Amino acid sequence: MSSAVITVEELKVKFDQEGFMTDPNQWTPEIAEVLAHAEGIAPLTERHWQVIRFVRAEYERSGESPTLRTINKKSGVETKELYELFPKGPAKKVARIAGLSKPKGCI
């Protein structure tokens, strides 16, 4: 996959080769909705937003996208539910939707 650019509400958003935003500061809730739809996750529910808000706050605190273990332990959402909300790789999917880089340790 090559780098891509999409336009959301007049904002050109750049992505790396794996589909992660290159500038997390460009992220908006509207971009999250577009990215979630592209991931096959739509509409976003309040539980999705709870996880998205958590990973964004954790990124602001640490400068890194949180791992699945961190999300599971600190977000208030259990692993089973994370896989239901963000199937097939929840840490990577939520990082993409939240406009962050790929979590360390993710393949």
The set of catalytic residues is: 106
**Which residues touch 16 (CB under 8 Å, ≥6 apart)?**
3, 22, 101
- Contact between 95 and 78 (Cβ < 8 Å): no
Phi-psi region at 10: left, alpha or beta (left = phi > 0; alpha = psi -120 to 50): left
